[in-house]
Structure 1
Amino acid sequence: MKSVIRHVGLSALTVAVLAGCSSTVTPAAPEQVINKNAVVLSAPPQVAQALTLNQIMANPDWMGLLAKGAYWSDDSQSIFFARQAHGAPTRNYYQQQLNETVASELALNQLHAADQQHGVLDSTKTRKAYIYQGNLFVKDLAANSITQLTRQNTKVDGVRFLNNGDIAYWQGDNIFKISHESGLSEQIANIKMAPAPKGVQDPSTYIAKQQHRLIQYVALQQSNAKAKEQYKDDLAKVDPTMSAKTWYLGDTEKVSELSLSPDGRYVLLSLTDKAYSWRSEHDIMPNYLGKDGYVDAVPARARVAEDNPPGQRLVLLDLQTHTKKDITIEGLTGFDADVLANVKAENAKAKGESYNSKKSVRKVQLIQDWSWSQSAIQWQASGDKVAVMLEAVDNKDRWIATVDLTKGSLNTEHRLHDDAWINYNFNQYGWLPNSDSLFYLSEETGYSHLYLKRSGDKATALTQGKYVVSNVTLGPKAQFIYYKANKSHPGIDNVYRVEIATGKNEQLTQWQGQLDYTLSPDGSQLLLSASTRTQPAELFVQPIGGEIKQLTHYTSDAFKNYAWQAPEVVKVPSTHGAGDVYARVYLPEGYSKDNADKYPAVIFNHGAGYLQNAHYGFSGYFREFMFHNLLAQQGYVVMDMDYRGSKGYGRDWRTAVYRQMGKPEVEDLKDGVNWMAANANVDASKVGTYGGSYGGFLTFMALFTEPELFQAGAALRPVTDWAHYNAPYTSNILNTPDVDPIAYERSSPIEHAAGLQKPLLIMSGVLDDNVFFQDSVRLVQRLIELEKPMFETAIYPVEPHGFRQPSSWLDEYRRIHKLFEQELK
């Protein structure tokens, strides 16, 4: 691995990729934020070395092996991170002191001692417990000494310090405690998902009763068995050397989450139906190039049309009294509301039927947030209070509730309802230390903001405005809450903090791009992973109130010194009532607004739907960024639009696609074409579009429902029928097919395929376990039966959803480029 890393950026690789451009090109212009209210488009810089597809789609290691997964050392004086070559099976790990310019690579036998990112502190913040390779370690922070507490093949799943200084950890459904005084390892909870043993049973049939009545030996054996059983029960109650009594919770469920209280008394469990599986009961994904020469049957996930998540229920175990309480959900406001009544009524009416609304208990589960790793179960440090964040399986409600440990009931502290769906982001929350107050994020005003709420009181907004707050961190002294927000511009991130006592907000960074941050353990510094439009993310450190300093320089000279065009971020006025649509625009080399010959154009549709790409940071679509530079060099205007549904613009923008995916987005694309014709000298009759995943879906919808808008389109790994996609994503936006078939028929491209009139290129990976290859197969057959002659397909037998082989990327983009050259010029 070391030799690979040293090789990156040296002359041989540079020549192979950019043919010596680092010595001949004009350096890239400094990053500047344009006037966001003005339409001022200027020609991009001239380049001495034109890009080629072979260069762009080559192994991306030539761009540099960037630092990933960075985190602070416990003493706040250094950072740790990893680097991994493209396609390499393992990572290399590094440590860099803040006062040094070069990182030191960690040897394999040093990794267990590297300050661990996900460790937990004791109440005095002098010891840290963490799990490494499935085993448990504890670190004395003052002495900087580490003790390994377990060495076994059965992995430890979780750990916490108890209030008395003991360490508790759990493996599967069993919980153990290590005394900090004696070192005794004790099993404090033995949970078995099985029926309780019946014990010695009295005879119940006539023959059995007769046997016991007539045969003294049989009766004696029965009597002795009962006595032994009673003896064991009595011994367990009084013998201090015995381990905890086993909990038998039945054999129909499984534990989905386990949380131990800080005082070690309570265990809160989330249970779910053990028969439920994410896998399809009916399908597999065939791998035609299996290693043994045969077709491998790869398990496939369930589709939203067949998936039926069972929800979860909460159970409270009192380890002190050995009593169990099943937590009831009646304390959740709206727990039995018919939130889909209007949707059901509309679908019933379409079938000539009527729907009578009635209340019924809804399925709920612990919140599944995709943006943070924090547990949805949060204990107050004292151990006598616990909060849970729950979501309805129907996606319409999120609750923060406290659990009454005495009654086994829930008390609603906050309910967030959305007629569309609750976001799977912006769900961070927790307790303020030594208080009854919770802090949390909520989109209730239309934008994610930070709130503070004392139990039983009204909430106080700590932030407010038309911007998005995320990545919340409680400072080590609980004086400030730190957060990331896009206050100055939807595409610019900075770090802020709010003083809890006064509500005063303060901006801490002045970055002109995108960033993520981590607060140092001592609360004095920020570790930033930050990028600009033409510079990939590097690591920086900034003392609170101090100057920013760059720590890593892993972007290769070949990439840094090339004159990349920084796309201009513009606002496209909507003619469909959406306000302004933000977009990136790449201009042709030598661009002139007054040029007599109008330019052809391409619109790129980003994936995921809920994703932001028209920002001032480096795009996650780095190959597309370079491809758009190539198209601009060859005379195209390129637009990359954050159509409705995209991230970073608030709740209303996000939910505009509810029950009508593909309609508002295509309206935005239409406005984008018109904007380019009016402001970038584009020939509206020479515009194409392309994108992957959700972007492929949107390409279909544009060509099928607005056949005159684009002259050609390329759909990569595309969704063709939402009933075949997964439940967690799709049911948010379209409900479920059995409840809301109207939404699926509106939103699925295969339902609109008859509208195709312009050339279409469909490209899919056969091993795509996200958007199945079957999606493209079904649409191709539909187009064949519709006798549509203007489409072509390309398949990639070894590729998953995100392509891995440079040869596949090259083939894919050669075809896209050829399509645009043939149809738009």
Structure 2
Amino acid sequence: MNRKIFTLAALIWLSFSGFAQSQLSVEYIMRDPKWMGFFPSRPQWSDDSKSIYFQYNPEGNPADSTYVIHLQNPKSYTEVSWREENKLERNQADFNNDKTLRIFVGPNDKLILETMKTGEQREVLNWYTRINNPTFLADENKIAFVAEQNIFVLNLESGAVNRVTHISNGTKPSESRSDKMDEKPKGFVERENLELLQVVREREENAELRKEYRDATRDDVEKEFVYYTDGKNPANLQLSPSGRFATFTYYNSSSNKNTKVPDYVAASGYTEELNARPKVGTEPTTSEIGIYDIHSDSVYFINTSTLPGLQDLPDYVTDYPDKEWKKEDRKLSLFGPVFSSDGSKAIIQARSFDNKDRWIAEVDLETGELKTLDRQRDEAWIGGPGIGWTFSGGTLSWLPDNKHIYFQSEETGYSHLYVLDTETGKKKALTSGNFEIFDPFISKDQKSWYLTTSEVDPGERHFYKMPLMGGKMEKLTSMTGNNDVTLSPDEKQLAIIYSYSNKPAELYLQENKVGAKAEQLTSGQSNEFKSYDWRDPEIIHFKAQDGAMVPARIYEPDPAKKNGAAVIFVHGAGYLQNVHKWWSSYFREYMFHNLLADLGYTVLDIDYRASAGYGRDWRTGIYRHMGGKDLSDQVDGAKHLISNYGVDADRIGIYGGSYGGFITLMALFTEPDVFKSGAGLRSVTDWAHYNHGYTANILNTPEEDPISYRRSSPIYFAEGLKGNLLMAHGMVDVNVHFQDVVRLSQRLIELGKENWEMAIYPVEDHGFVEPSSWTDEYKRILKLFNSTLINE
């Protein structure tokens, strides 16, 4: 028989065989996602609460556009013209206290004052250079703004502009001199040009008039005090609401060496180098906050040396008894200040660079001294919803009484909302329980909180209302899944982006009342997408070897098609949740799992230790040992499948990308008797080569804690490979560099391993974007599982 004819016949048979089992194929599901339909995102309300704007793409254009639904006809939506869309922009907007006025930066750096009730807009300042951060002061007739690294104040009644800070990034001159230079006389050519060309002459005259206006409205041009920064660039300039104090931040960046990522398919035809992040263990970017006293013409800095426990050593130092650990003030990153609305008080957040301490402290604005209000210590690392990152304060501000502050903390093991009396130091938890709080904000009347929580279930998100000083939470949403709410300005309506496990996001409208029914406004699923009966995976829990109950989603095949093989999926990011009741960001993987189930596989998707949504202990379960409990959870999941779902112990595969790729490598290298095959996608192979911000939280630094890195990095365990390994990686990955798998490949070659292969993707970064790349990658994954778990 002719070989070509045989091959063609075999392909036809395989094709019909596959469709007999599933209407899905890798090529089918990995196409451009537009085939699935079009789904709304980023809703925002009109100021009058009568319309909802959102991103949408019903025409299948290259990018989403802005659409609008008017509530008088909520079943109809229209695309917004670019002119109308531009009118929606309110660049760097700020409201006065009762939200009747809004100030924002308009085109050409004009300050625009808007009356919210009527929508009337009035230009209040046409400035000569870039304007940033316009802000109402406590005296709402005054607007502070930043220009040329200084703060100015506009008096709305008189129109006068007063420069209140005098900051220069130069060096203080050795002797005083006049800043006023003699005007250079105009030459013949310039004089003739201005005489001949009217438009040019008018522009010149207008520029001179603007300069005269500025000089006339700045009554302190000759002010003697100037603060010289000696080349440092002040950032985050702000003026206290009282107008008394200005603050700024210095970021002291270190000269860390960036890595280079070669781009072999650059448009130029040459191999070009992409700048990428430094590796873990680099010197920190620290910060310090300066206070500029407008009244006394003086500048001083916040003193952090009195923070309690500033020299505390971490517990892990006991693992290094032969090393001398020097007790000294740890380096800090600072956030703030955050001023009370009357400007009389301010707080900052300080975080140690090792991220084991977070302090919230009140600032004595006249001296820069601190009074610690709250300290959170975590021997692993500070984190969780609403708690922020290195230079972010997360949920942190003042209540309207200018006496209490509010913030989130994992003090009880779950991230909850607290208030603290700055006068007495008394702290009160407003929420409590084995659930987490997300995105709390205060109502317009300042009597209530609105917040999202996981109280009903870790796999659901609902929107609540609660009294300002705590009390019963009223649950406002009722749809099972994720309810991502945007509240209307009049607080009468909820715009909800809602999704469920097997239903992508749609836009809903609901009255802001308990028990109100949500009305669906969009319906974007294509008929092609709806033609398949997408599974609603069951959420189960299995017992881990340490007794913890581990959540997972399971995709079960039709009993008649069950083949005894199983695939375990490992989500990426480490701190991310994928066992939930809403549409997953891993939608391609979700569809692939439906395909695998159609082919007879049992698929398990685990929220292993370190996943989000389950509190502090779950979050930090991998501290100092990645590939510890996060991997043993996969092993225990495999055992659960064998014991309860009829899975053959010799036919279990595992796969995942990024962190999931790392776990896949650790699984095949250190648990080779559990996992027969695995696909590691864009995998970290050596944590000493990953970034600092993520890795140092979990493993500290390789210089200080090498034990953690050696027991957590797959490259040290490659000799354990027995099963079948596929590695896939984008060559222009600036997150997990292609270098990671290149180094591991060389290690496998030196070890004489033969049961592995590499797929490279020359045009792909960390997150693949090309349908052809997704298709090729997942065809290889399916081939790996089919050939090693079923047809071996």
TM-score relative to the length of structure 2: 0.86
Counterparts of 2:574 and 2:761, CA distance in 1: 24
Structure 1 stretch displaced more, 105-114 or 133-142: 133-142
- What corresponds to 2:615 in structure 1? 650
Of residues 587, 598, 602 in structure 2, which corresponds to 1:633?
Answer: 598
- What corresponds to 1:211 in structure 2? none
Counterparts of 1:145 and 1:48, CA distance in 2: 63
The answer for unaligned runs of 5 or more in structure 2 is 1-18, 178-214, 388-394
- Displacement of 1:581 in angstroms is 0.6
Of residues 391, 395, 413 in structure 2, which corresponds to 1:446?
Answer: 413
Whether contact under 8 Å (2:246, 2:294) holds in the other structure is yes
- 1:357-756 equivalent positions in 2, closer than 5 A: 357-366=325-334, 376-423=336-383, 425-427=385-387, 428-455=395-422, 456-501=424-469, 503-545=471-513, 546-577=516-547, 579-588=548-557, 590-591=558-559, 599-756=564-721
- Displacement of 1:184 in angstroms is 3.3
- 1:249-328 equivalent positions in 2, closer than 5 A: 249-251=228-230, 253-274=232-253, 276=254, 281=257, 283-305=259-281, 307-328=282-303
For residues 507-542 of structure 1, what are the alpha-carbon distances to aligned partners after superposition, in whole Å with 9 as ceiling and x for unaligned? Answer: 221221123222322233322222100111122222
- What corresponds to 2:209 in structure 1? none
- Displacement of 1:343 in angstroms is 2.0
- Displacement of 1:611 in angstroms is 0.2
- Displacement of 1:176 in angstroms is 2.9
- Displacement of 1:425 in angstroms is 3.4
Structure 1 stretch displaced more, 803-812 or 558-567: 558-567
Whether contact under 8 Å (2:258, 2:275) holds in the other structure is no
- What corresponds to 2:744 in structure 1? 779
Counterparts of 1:502 and 1:776, CA distance in 2: 52
- 1:67-106 equivalent positions in 2, closer than 5 A: 67-83=40-56, 91-99=64-72, 100-106=74-80
For residues 228-282 of structure 1, what are the alpha-carbon distances to aligned partners after superposition, in whole Å with 9 as ceiling and x for unaligned? Answer: xxxxxxxx9x9936376674343364334333212333222221225x35xx526
Counterparts of 1:129 and 1:261, CA distance in 2: 17
Counterparts of 2:462 and 2:223, CA distance in 1: 50
- 2:32 paired with 1:59: yes
Whether contact under 8 Å (1:498, 1:504) holds in the other structure is yes
Q: 1:411 to 1:707 in 2, by over 3 A?
A: same
Counterparts of 1:297 and 1:243, CA distance in 2: 50
- Displacement of 1:493 in angstroms is 1.1
Structure 1 stretch displaced more, 113-122 or 562-571: 113-122
Equivalent residue letter for 1:194: G
- 2:87 paired with 1:108: no
- 2:304 paired with 1:329: yes
Counterparts of 2:144 and 2:237, CA distance in 1: 12
Q: 1:426 to 1:490 in 2, by over 3 A?
A: same
Equivalent residue letter for 2:575: Y
Structure 1 stretch displaced more, 152-161 or 423-432: 152-161
Structure 1 stretch displaced more, 549-558 or 782-791: 549-558
Equivalent residue letter for 2:251: T
Q: Bigger relative contact order, structure 1 or 2, given CA contacts below 8 A and separation 6+?
A: 1
Equivalent residue letter for 1:435: N
- Displacement of 1:199 in angstroms is 2.0
Whether contact under 8 Å (2:44, 2:486) holds in the other structure is yes
- What corresponds to 2:392 in structure 1? none
Q: 1:121 to 1:50 in 2, by over 3 A?
A: same
Equivalent residue letter for 2:474: E
Counterparts of 1:292 and 1:524, CA distance in 2: 55
Counterparts of 1:48 and 1:571, CA distance in 2: 29
Q: Name the SS for the 2:767 alignment partner.
A: coil
For residues 576-613 of structure 1, what are the alpha-carbon distances to aligned partners after superposition, in whole Å with 9 as ceiling and x for unaligned? Answer: 23x2111011111x226xx9x75211011000000000
- Displacement of 1:86 in angstroms is 12
- What corresponds to 1:121 in structure 2? 95
For residues 312-371 of structure 1, what are the alpha-carbon distances to aligned partners after superposition, in whole Å with 9 as ceiling and x for unaligned? Answer: 111111223321121100342222322x2x32331x34xxx243x55311111135xxxx
- 1:106-185 equivalent positions in 2, closer than 5 A: 106-114=80-88, 116=90, 119-131=93-105, 135=109, 136-147=111-122, 155-164=130-139, 165-171=141-147, 173-185=149-161
Equivalent residue letter for 2:737: F
Counterparts of 2:698 and 2:258, CA distance in 1: 25
Whether contact under 8 Å (2:731, 2:764) holds in the other structure is yes
Whether contact under 8 Å (1:719, 1:775) holds in the other structure is yes
For residues 674-712 of structure 1, what are the alpha-carbon distances to aligned partners after superposition, in whole Å with 9 as ceiling and x for unaligned? Answer: 111122221121110100010001101111111111110
Q: 1:472 to 1:294 in 2, by over 3 A?
A: same
- Displacement of 1:561 in angstroms is 4.3
TM-score relative to the length of structure 1: 0.83
Equivalent residue letter for 1:61: K
Q: Name the SS for the 1:289 alignment partner.
A: coil
Counterparts of 2:262 and 2:716, CA distance in 1: 26
- What corresponds to 1:191 in structure 2? 167
How many residue pairs were aligned?
721
- Displacement of 1:89 in angstroms is 6.9
Equivalent residue letter for 1:176: F
The answer for unaligned runs of 5 or more in structure 1 is 1-45, 202-235, 368-375
- 2:763 paired with 1:794: no
Q: 1:337 to 1:256 in 2, by over 3 A?
A: farther
Equivalent residue letter for 1:811: D
Q: Name the SS for the 1:640 alignment partner.
A: strand
Q: 1:150 to 1:635 in 2, by over 3 A?
A: farther
Q: Name the SS for the 2:504 alignment partner.
A: coil
Q: 1:282 to 1:495 in 2, by over 3 A?
A: closer
Equivalent residue letter for 1:572: F
Counterparts of 2:779 and 2:330, CA distance in 1: 50
- Displacement of 1:480 in angstroms is 1.1
Whether contact under 8 Å (2:342, 2:402) holds in the other structure is no
Whether contact under 8 Å (1:492, 1:511) holds in the other structure is no
Q: 1:755 to 1:153 in 2, by over 3 A?
A: farther
Structure 1 stretch displaced more, 462-471 or 550-559: 550-559
Q: Name the SS for the 1:536 alignment partner.
A: strand
- What corresponds to 1:12 in structure 2? none
Q: Name the SS for the 1:682 alignment partner.
A: coil
Counterparts of 1:78 and 1:319, CA distance in 2: 44
Whether contact under 8 Å (1:703, 1:710) holds in the other structure is yes
Whether contact under 8 Å (1:113, 1:146) holds in the other structure is no
- Displacement of 1:434 in angstroms is 2.6
Please provide the CA RMSD for this pair.
2.6
Q: 1:749 to 1:86 in 2, by over 3 A?
A: farther
Equivalent residue letter for 1:648: G
Counterparts of 2:108 and 2:457, CA distance in 1: 43
Counterparts of 1:715 and 1:645, CA distance in 2: 19
- Displacement of 1:148 in angstroms is 5.2
Identical aligned residues as a percent: 40
